[in-house]
Each structure stands twice: as C-alpha cells, then as structure tokens.
Amino acid sequence: MSLTLVIGSRGSKLALWQAEQVRNTIELLEPESKVRIEIIKTTGDVKNEPLTLIGGKGVFTKELEEALLDGRIDLAVHSLKDLPTILPSELTIAAICKREDPRDALVLGVEADNGYASLMKLPNRSVVGTSSQRRAAQLKALRPDIEIKDLRGNVDTRLRKLDEAQYQAVILASAGLRRLGLAHRISASIPVSEMLPAVGQGAIAIETRKGDEATGLAVGNLNDPETNVCCIAERALLRELGGGCQLPIAGHATLEHQLLRLDGLVAAPDGSQIVRDQVSGAIDTAESLGAQLAAKLISQGADKLLGR
C-alpha cells in the first residue's frame, strides 16, 4: 500500500528520536510508504516558566493536536505521559509502542562520588533538580532535608546545569536517557517502591484522526499489547482522579501471568502526606481497575490532597 504520511513532532532531540523510530518502523512495514516529519512548537517548548505556572494539561501536545485536526499532519507522536487523558472527540490513540524502562533515574554530576548513588545516600541538604511535582513530593517524603530546585530544558540542558554544579543531583526519566544513548549517566534507577513513575512514563503514543483508516492501519502494527493494557489502566486512574502530568499523582501497571496489577499514589505537594494503594485483576478489566483504584485512593483522602 502506497501512503504519504506526515508525522508531527516536537523539535527536541528526544521527541525527534521518537518520531524517527515511528517513521522507520512504518517504512519497514510499508516499504512503498513515504513518511516525513513536521516539527511543531508547543507551548511547553517556548515558555521557560515552571510547568505548574503555564498549565500542566496539554502544554506539550495541544499544538500537535491542532495540526492533526486541521490536516497539516496525519499522526502525532507523543511521550504518553504528556498526553491528557481526555482527547478531542475527533482524535484517538491508534497505537502505544513497546515501553522503555518506566522508572525515574537519579543522575549525579560527572565529578560526584557514586557512593551517593541512591536517594537515601545523598548528602544532607543536597540540592536536587526536578520540574515534576510528582517527583518532588515523593522525594520530600523520603528526604525532608533535601532542597528541591526547579529544572527546565531538554535533557542536554538539564545535564549541563547539573555538571556546572547548579545541582548536586537531578531526577530524569530513565527512558529518555536510554533512548538518547545516555544510559551511562544513570547513577541509579530509582525503585518504584521509592518513587512511583508518572502515568504512561516510558511509553510512546501515536495519535491519529478518527476515521482515518489508512493511517490507523499503517501504525497499528506498532502497538504493543502489553504496554497498551498497562497504560489503559494507568490513564483510567489519572482520568478518574482528574489530574494532569504535573500534579503529584503517580500510577504504574505491570502484567504478570495474565494478572494486571496497578499501583497508584497521590501526594501532598510538600510530601507531608502520601496516599498509596494497589489493585489487581484480569487484563480485560484494565479500565475498571483504574476507576477502582481511584475510588480507593479518594476514600483514603486523595481528593483532599489534590485540593478539592
């Protein structure tokens, strides 16, 4: 089948890596297809304020969705954790690619002593960089002495600021570092028992227009069923809690022997309180598991922590 497809992507090195992987896979599976990448700037790319000030929902996806809706692109490639849980009615997630390591990574400066390569071993009153309320709240709960300093910019910029000693450590997504060939900068992968990942972390989503069957078919084979079902449960949890990627909400699902386990967490922004629980069930109950866990967390006070 001969297709001409335009992929919409943000312009960061990581976003382009993801878009190029999607393009290469489509061209491998559909050799007659012609696929090009269109770079689109999003609100999150052009503003330097903390993400909590410019709005967490859709700051990295809104302009890509607008380009999809007006036909400038045929598919948008997103980091799934950036994509709001409620999409425009005309759009759909056509595929979720196989997930990379979903854990957060502790990264120390190039001159740092790797004897400190864990959250619990960081020196007292260390300055740690992150722009994520989810990471900050969980870090504060573990280490109230830590000073948290806002950190923006692409991966290279964040690592440069770290190596210039503006921070003693930074917390980044393991997946992004691995995809950019920077796995050697991971000082320690943070266990999910210490820091639960963001909903969808490590997964790449492909968004298309509903009714565009040709594009849907072209990207359908990129879908990873295990990642998909885990992310359905995670996103259902986040949707029921009414949260975006910047609120102190975490969710992570795993699949073992056809049993789906979903862990979820809601924290006070200062880490003073954390509500965490988990549910398990069959694969075909992924959506309802998310709603079930949200109800459990709310019954334990999560809504008050979210300021409702």
The model's confidence at residue 174, banded by pLDDT at 50, 70 and 90, is very high
Superfamily assignment of 1-97+203-223 in CATH? Answer: Periplasmic binding protein-like II (3.40.190.10)
> Do residues 243 and 249 touch, judged by C-beta distance below 8 A?
yes
**pLDDT for res 171:** 98
- Classify residue 239 as exposed, middle or buried by CB count within 10 Å of its CB (0-12, 13-18, 19+): middle
pLDDT at 36 over 50: yes
Q: Which position among 45, 70, 82, 145 bears the catalytic label?
A: 82
Q: For CATH 3.40.190.10, list the domain ranges present in the chain.
A: 1-97+203-223, 104-189
Q: How much is the average pLDDT of 169-193?
A: 97
Give exposure, 249-267, as e/b (b: 16+ Cβ within 10 Å).
bbbbbebeeeebbbbbbbb
pLDDT at 51 over 60: no
SS3 of 189, please? strand
Query: Which residues, in sequence order, are bridge partners of residue 167?
Result: none
Share of the chain above pLDDT 70, in %: 94
Residues 186, 118: Cα–Cα separation, whole Å: 11
- Classify residue 21 as exposed, middle or buried by CB count within 10 Å of its CB (0-12, 13-18, 19+): middle
Summarised one tens digit per residue, pLDDT across range 242-265 is 876 567 999 999 999 999 999 999
Closest CA to 176 of 42, 45, 79, 249: 79
Q: Which CATH number fits domain 224-308: 3.30.70.20, 3.60.21.10, 3.30.160.40, 3.20.20.70?
A: 3.30.160.40
Lowest model confidence (mean pLDDT) among 37-46, 86-95, 292-301: 37-46
pLDDT at 46 over 70: no
The model's confidence at residue 52, banded by pLDDT at 50, 70 and 90, is low
**pLDDT for res 54:** 44
Superfamily assignment of 104-189 in CATH? Answer: Periplasmic binding protein-like II (3.40.190.10)
Q: For CATH 3.30.160.40, list the domain ranges present in the chain.
A: 224-308
pLDDT at 128 over 50: yes
Residues 277, 283: Cα–Cα separation, whole Å: 19
**pLDDT for res 226:** 97
- Residue 82 annotated as catalytic: yes
Summarised one tens digit per residue, pLDDT across range 61-103 is 999 999 999 999 999 999 999 999 999 999 999 999 999 999 9
pLDDT at 201 over 60: yes
More confident site: 168 or 114: 168
**pLDDT for res 308:** 66
